[in-house]
Amino acid sequence: MKAISIASTELVSYAIDHAGSERDYMDKNFPCSVSFSLSRMPDELKRLPGAQLQDQASHYAAKDNEDFISYVSDRQILLISQQAEELDDLSTSVEGIRSDGLTIHDKLLAQRNLCELGSEMDGMANSLDFVQRKVAVFMYKASVKGQLMMILFLIILFIVLFVLVFFT
């Protein structure tokens, strides 16, 4: 419609002689108008133009349907490929999180082992303190002769343990 209105305002540039309505054009080019009613037309004539129009309409509808189906199919393929890329990204992220989780698990196990070792060391320190107090009490009660006997016993024990550990 806009093109017609522009053409009607600029007749010279589009080489149009006369600017008239469609009725003027029809009257000028087709002077004898034929009027007929559909009720007087035979059935064969009624079917022909309608059939042609219907064939054209069904052809256009089929073409539109094919275009629409093609568009939807292309859109689905695009969505599937985008989802596949996003799934790949998620998979990479999950693998990273998994490796981080395994690293944290290993660190926690090492920390638990260190805690157990610390508690064992505390128990050994308590036992060593107990033995040192007993030895101190014994040394206090014993005379110089008892202390020399204790030193001699500890040296012999040290030599026996040294021989057992390093030579066997």
pLDDT tens profile 26-49? 555 555 444 444 444 455 544 554
Token pair, residue 16, equals 């149009």
The reported pLDDT for the residue numbered 6 is 60
CB 7 within 8 A of CB 16: yes
| Angle between helix 144-167 and helix 43-141 axes, rounded to 10 deg | 140
Of 12-16, 95-99, 163-167, highest mean pLDDT: 95-99
18: in domain:
yes
The reported pLDDT for the residue numbered 85 is 94
Residue 157 identity (one-letter amino acid): L
28: in domain:
yes
The reported pLDDT for the residue numbered 37 is 43
Token pair, residue 4, equals 């017609």
The mean pLDDT value for 105-133 works out to 90
- pLDDT band for 69, please (50, 70, 90 cuts): confident
Residue 10 structural domain: 2-119
Residues in the chain: 168
Between the CA of residue 100 and those of 97, 104, 119, what are the distances in Å?
Answer: 5, 6, 29
157: in domain:
no
The reported pLDDT for the residue numbered 40 is 47
Between the CA of residue 65 and those of 39, 59, 68, what are the distances in Å?
Answer: 35, 10, 5
Between the CA of residue 154 and those of 37, 96, 162, 167, what are the distances in Å?
Answer: 137, 58, 12, 19
DSSP-assigned letters across all residues of 118-129: HHHHHHHHHHHH
68: in domain:
yes
Domain count, the chain: 1
- R_g of the chain computed on alpha carbons: 54
- pLDDT band for 149, please (50, 70, 90 cuts): confident
The reported pLDDT for the residue numbered 148 is 84
Token pair, residue 84, equals 């596949």
136: in domain:
no
Of 38-42, 57-61, 118-122, 143-147, highest mean pLDDT: 118-122
The mean pLDDT value for 125-154 works out to 84
What does pLDDT average to over the chain?
Answer: 76
Nearest to 46 by CA among 38, 54, 57, 56: 38
The reported pLDDT for the residue numbered 5 is 60
165: in domain:
no
The reported pLDDT for the residue numbered 137 is 82
127: in domain:
no
Give the rounded percent of residues in the chain with a pLDDT score beyond 90. Answer: 33
114: in domain:
yes
**88: region left, alpha or beta (phi > 0 left; psi from -120 to 50 alpha):** alpha
The reported pLDDT for the residue numbered 33 is 44
